[in-house]
Structure formats: C-alpha cells, structure tokens
Amino acid sequence: MLPILDDHAHLQTIGAGSEAVRQFEKAGGTHLIISHASFAPRPIFTKDDWRKDYGFTTDICEEAGRATGVNIYCVLGPYPGDLFDLQYNSDIKVEKAFEIMKIGVEVAAELVKEQKAIGIGEVGRPHFPVDEQSMRMSNEILLSCMEKAKDLDCPVVIHSEHVNGSNLEEFTAMAKSVGLKPERIVKHYCGKLDDSWPRGEIALSVLATRENVISAIQQDLNFMMETDYLDDPSRPGAVLALTTVPKRMKQFSKDGLIDERLWQKIHVERPRRSYGIDTENSA
Ligand SMILES: [Zn+2]
C-alpha cells in the first residue's frame, strides 16, 4: 500500500485532536503535516511565550502520534495574521508586534534544530488587504524565515493571497536571494490554477477538492494535497474534513485518474524533495 499524506492540516487542543487523526487513519491516511496557527489571541512577548504557544501544537501532534499509527510532522512559525492579533491593546503598535513576530521566527528555527518540527510555517503575508507598512513587515518576516530555512535546510510553508501569475515568481526570487532552493517552498491553499502561469519549482499544496485535484493532474503541476482541516469545533469539517485526501486518492485510483506512478510522485517524491520526509519507510 502506498502512503497517503495530507500536507496541511491543523489540530487544536479544543478540537477533535487524536480522534480526527484516527478517522484519517481509518480512511487510509498514513502521514500528516500539522501547521501551527494561533486560533485565539493570546499575549506573546518573549521567547518563552512562543515556546509555550508552539508547544500546544507539538504536544497535540505527539499525543495523536502515540494514539494512532499515523506519522505526524509539524511546521511552526508566526501565523501572518498574528501581526495584527498581537496588537491586543492600544499600547502595542505594529512595530512592537513586528518585533514579537521576529522572535517567533527565531524560536521556530530553534525548534526545527531541536527536531520538534520539520519546517517553518505557515508564514508569509495576510490573505486580506492590509496597509503598506504591514505588508512590508510581513514580507520582511517571510524573508527572514527563508534565511533560517536555508541555514537549517528545511522547508517554508507559505500562507498568502491566492496564487497568481506573479507571486510564484516573487516567492522564487525571494528564496533565491537568500540561497534557499525554491523547491523548499510550499505554497499552501492552492485552488484551481491557471496553466498560463509560470511553472517554477515551488511545490503547490492543493486544497483537495475533486475539481482542484483534477485540474492539477491535467496541468501536470508539481502538487501535493491538503485539507487545511482546522479542527475547530464551531466549524466541523472545515476547510475540508481530514478524511478527504485518503478518500480522494482511493476514489481517483479506482476511477483511473491516478496511477501508481502519479501516486508515488504526490505522496513520496514531492514530500521528500520539499519537506525532506521519507513517507515510504516511516509508515
Ligand atoms: Zn492552514
């Protein structure tokens, strides 16, 4: 049996946690990459605060890994929206939030070094319009994540506005400017892509709807599959249920839309190249 990886989901302490992972396993899933995100605004100022915050994610992943046979990896980093959420009160201005975000990058890099995480993510810039200064700061934070990733030889998972004709080139140029291989960049939350856009080496993590996956196959994109499962009790099954990727793979394989070679590419070769994980021998 070939491995099945969902390369972008979340687990929350207040969510279904291990039970959601059990369902994923029952559906045939074998590997998961869990991305840290802050779901409730919380005061963070210091390195210790960040360690505690990332600890929620690493702890729940360890717990779900023990409770199931699924191989779970984490990516950690300051979520782009944190630049705003960290401004809890009027005393905290954007400059201060920016400094706190940079501490978050440093701690994430330390945890990658300590092998608590395999990469930095999800980081980048808000998917909603923001003022110029916040955008500049977000790009600066992203660039420093790429610098750290270059030193650590680890991936960077990008959260940003939707993929378009120019931002893939922009992210590629940013990575190259710090010496990071573009193949180490994963653009999270890709929808249907336009085949006129330039194809770089950035890995596209496609939200695993039927339509998106078919389009990615037809265009022969360098893609992996994600649910961006939020594990949010107030939005169960959002963005997609954690069982989606295994179910999609099995159905598409049965329908002849995915053969063994393509399966291997999506769930073994690309994860190895982008994330540095071995899904073949860890299951
Ligand atoms: Zn996410």
Give DSSP secondary structure letters for 110-145: HHHHTTS-SEEEEEE--SS---HHHHHHHHHHHHHH
Q: How far is the CA of 229 from the centre of ligand 1 (A)?
A: 7
Rounded Cα–Cα distance for residues 280 and 243 (Å): 20
| pLDDT of the residue at 185 | 98
Q: Which of 27, 132, 126, 43 is nearest to 91 (CA)?
A: 43
| pLDDT of the residue at 141 | 98
Q: How far is the CA of 84 from the centre of ligand 1 (A)?
A: 17
Q: How far is the CA of 219 from the centre of ligand 1 (A)?
A: 24
> What are the tens digits of pLDDT across the range 160-188?
999 987 899 999 999 999 999 999 999 99
- What's the pLDDT band for 282 if we cut at 50, 70, 90? confident
Task: Report residue 260 as tokens.
Answer: 């063994």
Q: How far is the CA of 227 from the centre of ligand 1 (A)?
A: 9
Q: How far is the CA of 79 from the centre of ligand 1 (A)?
A: 9
Mean per-residue pLDDT of the chain:
95
- What's the pLDDT band for 70 if we cut at 50, 70, 90? very high
Q: How far is the CA of 204 from the centre of ligand 1 (A)?
A: 14
- What's the pLDDT band for 283 if we cut at 50, 70, 90? low
| pLDDT of the residue at 140 | 98
| pLDDT of the residue at 197 | 78
Q: How far is the CA of 39 from the centre of ligand 1 (A)?
A: 11
| pLDDT of the residue at 40 | 66
Residue 268 is given by DSSP the state I
- Calculate the alpha carbon distances from 124 to 33, 164, 188 in Å: 18, 15, 10
| pLDDT of the residue at 46 | 96
Say if pTM beats, i.e. exceeds, 0.85: yes
| pLDDT of the residue at 37 | 87
Q: How far is the CA of 218 from the centre of ligand 1 (A)?
A: 25
Identity of the residue numbered 179: G
**Longest Cα–Cα distance in the chain:** 59
- What's the pLDDT band for 90 if we cut at 50, 70, 90? confident
Percent of the chain at pLDDT above 70? 99
Percent of the chain at pLDDT above 90? 87
Residues with CB under 5 A from ligand 1 (ion): 35, 228
Q: How far is the CA of 9 from the centre of ligand 1 (A)?
A: 6
**Residue that has been written with the tokens 């890995």 in this structure:** 203
What residues contact 185, with CB distance under 8 A and at least 6 apart?
146, 155, 156, 158, 171, 172, 175, 202, 203, 274
| pLDDT of the residue at 38 | 79
| H or E stretch at 66 | helix 47-67
Q: What class has domain 5-275?
A: alpha beta
What residues contact 80, with CB distance under 8 A and at least 6 apart?
122, 123, 124, 125, 126, 127, 138, 159, 160
